[in-house]
């Protein structure tokens, strides 16, 4: 049986909520080179390859919107986090479908 992520949100809805001033708990699980090319302001960066080792950096009481380039790695990250009791939402479509400004390092 395939894992089903309990919640999902499109990038346009995340951008809309941020533009409205809503405080969101965002987690970007892309690799460092992807992150440096542009990321959502305020997002926390933990590559999916480091996620298990860095769980203590996340608040299991807050809902976390997880994002990546296309939505696949964020889906995997959601599965890993959900299994450990985190409240997660997968940003489907990822940053490929993001149409707002990105921060560049």
Please report, in tens digits, the pLDDT of each residue of the chain (105 residues total).
355 667 999 999 999 999 999 999 999 999 999 999 999 999 999 999 999 999 999 999 999 999 999 999 999 999 999 999 999 999 999 999 999 989 987
In a domain, 105, yes or no: no
Alpha helices in 38-90 (DSSP H): 72-83
The Cα–Cα gap between 46 and 44 comes to 7
Q: Closest by alpha carbon to 65, among 38, 36, 94, 104? A: 94
Domain range spanning residue 74? Answer: 8-97
- Type and span of the H or E element at 90: strand 87-91
In a domain, 1, yes or no: no
CATH assignment at residue 75: 3.40.250.10
How many alpha carbons fall within 13 Å on the CB side of residue 93? 12
In a domain, 25, yes or no: yes
Domain count for the chain: 1
């Amino acid at each position: 049986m395939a894992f089903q992520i309990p919640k999902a949100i499109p990038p346009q809805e995340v951008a809309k909520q941020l533009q409205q001033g809503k405080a969101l708990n965002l987690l970007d699980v892309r690799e460092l080179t992807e992150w440096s090319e542009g990321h959502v302001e305020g997002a926390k960066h933990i590559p999916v390859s480091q996620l298990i080792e860095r769980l203590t950096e996340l608040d299991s009481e807050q809902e976390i919107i997880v994002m990546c380039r296309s939505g696949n790695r964020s889906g995997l990250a959601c599965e890993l986090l959900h299994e450990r009791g985190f409240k997660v939402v997968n940003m489907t479509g990822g940053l490929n479908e993001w149409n707002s400004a990105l921060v560049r390092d």
